[in-house]
Structure 1
Amino acid sequence: MNVKEFRPYLFSGDIRDIVSPPFDTITVEQEKKLRSAKYNITALSLPEYGNSGITLQKLINKWITEGVIYQHDKDIILILKQVFYINKEAITRYGIISLVEIDDMLKAHENTFEKNVLERKKVMKELNGEPEPIFVVVPDNGFDKMIRRYSNNLEKVYEFEEPSGVENYIYFLDDPDKINKLKETLRNDRGIVADGHHRTQAIIDLKKESGDIFWNYAMAYITSIYDNGLMIGGVDRLVYRINFEENLPKLRNLFDITVDRAIMDDDEIRVYSKGIFYRLVAKQFAIDETFGSGPLISTEIINKILFRDGMGLNNNDIETKVGYIYNTTDAINAVDMHECDFAVIVPPWKKDVFLKMVLEGSVFPQKSTYFYPKIPSGIAIYLKPS
């Protein structure tokens, strides 16, 4: 994988007022709060198209002219250290923000929605750049150790804590020798797109359509899949305008269904409806008829056996009647608050299973994985030279 240093555009204001979660994970409540800040990154990553008459290109030029953002004067790679807590234990993850070449050494593992790709293309084409990094993991067990060593001798440039409790520390690496060592360490590694499939595909499309070499590279956050601070969860489904209980007779032909008092720590799919957790284990004949041999992906079972065969949903129904949520507690609350009819709880991934399947060529359905902690947007921006 070919990575390289770059001269990012940076915000000059208080970083705490500027950063946001990735655009596709922002809740309605978060969006209102973020937009209340004068210069938050959401103005670029999640633009409001109204009657203001100002385009993204005009807005970014205005911000540059006014000194809201400025281009760093050296080629650098940013190091991001994140600290978060699980059961009161501090977990630390290290990664870098750099450019990564869009080529065969960078592998996507999820399908995309055409509508989402077009929306990202519109944003990046108008901006002439990339407002937030994609998230890439590498199967390298020594990469994170090298970054840790380098950061020990650097001064923090930014420090902020997210509302979720994740602490972020940013360092600038401008030493050419150390940068070259990082680049060489990653040169023979395959990069796997963990988050940002729609943005990656949008960049690929822009490269094909324009022929502009600027789109040969994506701004990316890169970390080791073996880092203890990398977690891979499932993405839960919220289902609208469908009664789960009415479908139970047919579903019992396809699944062994039992009732649980709560979510148990296993690898099974669960549905939460009307205060009840249903544990769904697909019957072998349903798996054989649908998939034959090969590794099973929970989201494939959900899409093809639960939604399609069990509930009669087609692809359009799945796009219009199914939403996605990244926190199981929020999914349960959405059902309890009658914001949706039921939720499908997707089990977390085991890293070795994920890595084996991806490197063997598996491509998962949209929204199959949730890598966390996420990378805040607003730390750096990658813009086409004027």
Structure 2
Amino acid sequence: MAKIHPFKAVRPTRDKVSLVASRSYQSYTQSEREARLDYNPFSFLHIVNPGYRYHKEISGKERYGLVRNRYLEFKEDGTFVQDESPCFYIYRVVNREKRVFTGIVAAASTEDYKNNVIKKHEDTIEYREQIFKDYLKTVGFNAEPVLLTYPDSDVISNILKKYTNTRAEFEFTTTYRDTHYLWLVEDQNDIKAIQDEFTQMEAIYIADGHHRSASSYLLSEDCENDASVKESYQSFMSYLIPESELCISEFNRLVKDLNGLSKEQFLLKLDQMYRIENRGHEWYKPSKKHHFSMYLDGEFYSLYLRKTHYNFTNSLSELDTHILYITILKPILGITDLRNDDRIDYGYDKHNVIEMKNRIDSGEFAVGFGLVPVNVDEMKRISDEGLVMPPKSTYIEPKLRSGVTIYEF
């Protein structure tokens, strides 16, 4: 039984939303960030990078306090205004490939997170949880929703269609050529119908934002016995999207060396677990589970797992990112820490085969592996069994802009 709630979002005014909205801070190159900070005084980047006006990097608690100050300045200047009544927010993204994502921005329950009604498929790192918890407690808002996915529902779909056939409150196109739309759901009957439909769901799943949800839960635990704290700490902003609209892409793996092996020795070791076919200069991408592509020394290879040599014991053992780790990365190439070993790197998107080839041809890396994307059912099975995917198993879309809806504590 999943619980979601409407909330009073703090939002940019309609005339400034396209100027305020930003991608995540880390996704910009330094030159891109500086251009936006220099020439766009309304960018949300000014809030999350408050030291820019002083031409210095500021970190830790000092930064948190300045982020809070910049946020309050945006409110004082009238760039941000809070809605008068709690709403659900229908958010649609139409990307440059004309793929459409339509979901609901709502407050999800930290109690549901605690009780595994909101299910996880990734491990989180404790120190990152603590850092972001302290950040949230100081700044008093959350501007980037956790991406959750739910089973497709005709009831919810019909309500969304009713609103998306009307004029949007916000409509803006980014330099990425993605178009973003926002509608407000203020009608109490529609709000109740959406909530009632979610109470029929046994579970909803985190698609992206494991650290943000974990930190929000820790914050709610900190504030549980403090009578002065608002109920808003018991929830976190989420973007709920039906499973059928979730888009999952693969992360390819690149490794800097062959762990002291010659090319011939490496291929012989691979042959123990894989049927190998040299594809020469033919561009090759795998199309089936347990099939992998490999680029090595100017040539593409297809690798087919020898299933008679491998034991499938649970959902994790069937996951291609885990299979690659267990059969190649760890035993042959000596990669034991997928998060922190600087010998391995990751790449995603439809052009990544080109980038992988270029980075290997340049000598930066020695070998690269391509995989078939994880699907929603695999992700759910991992979560249902209480298992954890290897890092960088999924690149999930849509990616929302920060600063379009803000959840205030």
TM-score between both structures, scaled by the size of structure 1: 0.84
Work out whether residues 129 and 215 of structure 2, in 8 Å CA contact, stay in contact via their aligned partners in 1.
yes
Match of 2:273 among 247, 254, 272: 254
1:263 pairs, out of 279, 284, 288, with 284
Identity %: 20
Q: Which residue of 2 aligns with 1:376?
A: 401
Letter of the aligned partner of 1:92 in structure 2?
V
- What count of residue pairs does the alignment treat as equivalent? 377
Partner SS state of residue 318, structure 2: coil
Shift of 1:23: 4.7
Partner residue, 1:6: 7
In the TM superposition, 1:25-64 aligns within 5 A as 25-26=27-28, 30-36=32-38, 37-44=40-47, 50-51=57-58, 55-64=66-75
- 1:326 Cα deviation from its structure 2 partner: 2.8
Distance 1:120 1:343, change over 3 A: farther
1:2–1:100 CA contact under 8 A, matched in 2: yes
Deviations 1:190-243 (Å, cap 9, x if unpaired)?
A: 21011111211222222234436533211011111024xx32222233444667
Over 3 Å counting, the alpha-carbon distance change for 1:51 and 1:168 in structure 2 is closer
Q: Does 1:110 align with 2:132?
A: no
* Cα distance change on mapping 1:164 and 1:204 into 2, 3 Å: same
C-alpha displacement of 1:317: 7.0
1:360 CA displacement: 4.5
Task: Report whether the alignment pairs 1:217 with 2:235.
Answer: yes
Cα displacement (A) at 1:348: 1.6
1:10-29, Cα deviation, whole Å (9 max, x unpaired): 12362222222345555556
Q: Distance in 2 between matches of 1:15 and 1:377?
A: 10
CA distance in 2, matches of 1:302, 1:70: 49
Q: Is the 8 A contact 1:101 1:218 kept in 2?
A: yes
Deviation at 1:181, TM superposition (A): 0.8
SS at match of 2:23: coil
More divergent stretch after superposition (342-351 vs 315-324): 315-324
1:262, distance to aligned residue in structure 2 (A): 1.6
Could you say if the C-alpha distance between residues 21 and 274 of structure 1 is closer, same or farther in structure 2, counting changes exceeding 3 Å?
Answer: farther
Q: Which amino acid aligns with 1:378?
A: G
Instruction: For 1:161-176, list aligned pairs within 5 A.
Output: 161-176=173-188
Is the CA contact (8 Å cut-off) linking 2:382 and 2:389 kept in structure 1? no
Instruction: Name stretches of at least 5 consecutive residues in structure 1 with no aligned partner.
Output: none
Q: Which deviates more, 236-245 or 370-379?
A: 236-245
Q: Which residue pairs with 1:94 in the alignment?
A: 102
Structure-1 separation of matches of 2:405 and 2:273: 48
Aligned-residue offset at 1:31: 4.0
Equivalences for 1:1-386 in 2 at 5 Å?
Answer: 1-12=2-13, 14-23=16-25, 25-26=27-28, 30-36=32-38, 37-44=40-47, 50-51=57-58, 55-84=66-95, 86=97, 90-102=98-110, 103=112, 104=115, 105-114=117-126, 116-152=128-164, 154-189=166-201, 190-211=203-224, 213-227=231-245, 230-240=246-256, 246=263, 247-260=266-279, 261-264=282-285, 266-267=287-288, 268-284=291-307, 287-288=310-311, 292=313, 294=315, 296-315=318-337, 318-330=340-352, 332-333=354-355, 335-337=357-359, 338=362, 340-341=364-365, 342-384=367-409
CA distance 1:265–1:142, shift in 2 (3 Å): farther
Q: How many Å separate the matches in 1 of 2:363 and 2:82?
A: 44
Q: CA distance change for structure 1 residues 79 and 316 in 2, over 3 Å: closer, same or farther?
A: closer
Structure 1 pair 352–214 and aligned structure 2 pair: CA distance change class (3 A): same
Q: CA deviation at 1:370?
A: 2.0
SS class of match (1:148): helix
Contact 1:8-1:382 within 8 A present in 2 as well:
yes
Distance 1:119 1:240, change over 3 A: farther
Given that 2:143 and 2:403 are in contact with CA atoms closer than 8 Å, whether structure 1 keeps it comes out as yes
Shift of 1:328: 4.2
Q: CA deviation digits over 1:18-53, x for unaligned, max 9?
A: 222345555556544444432322344577682596
> 2: distance between equivalents of 1:339 and 1:3?
50
Q: TM-score, normalised by structure 2?
A: 0.80
**Does structure 1 conserve the Cα–Cα contact (< 8 Å) formed by 2:95 and 2:179?**
yes
2-structure distance, mates of 1:46, 1:274: 42
Q: Deviation of residue 299 (structure 1)?
A: 1.4
Q: Which amino acid aligns with 1:206?
A: L
SS in 1 for 2:342: helix
1:10, 1:339 → 2: CA distance? 47
Partner SS state of residue 391, structure 2: coil
Secondary structure of the equivalent of 1:315?
coil
Q: Considering only CA atoms, is the larger Rg found in Structure 1 or Structure 2?
A: 2
- Label 1:115 to 1:333 Cα distance change in 2 as closer, same or farther (>3 A): farther
Q: Which runs of 5+ in 2 are unaligned?
A: none
Contact 1:274 1:336 in 2 (8 A): no
Aligned-partner residue type, residue 40 of structure 1: S
CA contact (8 A) 1:80 1:170 kept: yes
Instruction: Specify the SS of the correspondent of 1:310.
Output: coil
What is the root-mean-square deviation of aligned Cα atoms in Å? 3.1
Q: Tell me if the contact between 1:110 and 1:368 (Cα under 8 Å) persists in the aligned partners.
A: no
Divergent runs of 4+, >6 A: 46-49
Q: Answer yes or no: is the 8 Å Cα contact 1:275–1:336 preserved in 2.
A: no
**CA drift at 1:172:** 1.2
